[in-house]
Amino acid sequence: MSIGHTLLGLLESGPRHGYDLKRAFDEKFGHDRPLHYGQVYSTMSRLLKNGLVVVDGIEAGGGPERKRYAITDAGITDVAQWLATPEKPEPYLQSTLYTKVVLALLTGRGAAELLDTQRAEHLRLMRELTRRKKDGDLADQLICDHALFHLEADLRWLELTAARLDRLAEEIHR
């Protein structure tokens, strides 16, 4: 995810302080991975330097001064271009799991056990996401569905690989 573009998009509704941007980001997108304040301010500094935001005001408070940021026309254009650009699908052609299976076979370890352990971990996470989806709002349901569909694809791969382990072992030992 592009944090800079996400923060710019949040600014389109109006100027905000860094604290407000972090809170909005965490509420909408950061359930599992909230932003650190340092990440917000370093990103805002970069956006400011690149002319995508301006400081709309500075307020003195009990602590450090609070800058209020506003998006510029260039920032709005940048967000529009980012939103219109499709994300590159990730083909997972060099998966860590595949590497582990091949190394297990090459070193005489149990590749079938590795696949069984991974299957159990996938199923555990799927149960957790299903519970979260059941109790979540629509945004949480959609993000959980996305993760669940990827885990389902991984499970299909695990089953297919388990069925082909003997053949794979023959091929890598040639």
Q: In tens digits, what is the pLDDT along the chain, a chain of 174 residues? A: 689 999 999 999 999 999 999 999 998 887 778 899 999 999 999 999 999 999 998 887 767 778 999 999 999 999 999 999 888 877 776 688 898 999 999 988 889 999 999 999 999 999 999 999 999 899 889 999 999 999 999 999 999 999 999 999 999 888
Q: Which residue(s) pair with 27 in the sheet?
A: none
**Is residue 8 within 8 Å of residue 78, measured between CB atoms?**
yes
Contacts of 64 (CB under 8 A, 6+ apart): none
Which whole-number Å values give the CA distances from 173 to 109, 110, 164, in the listed order? 14, 15, 14
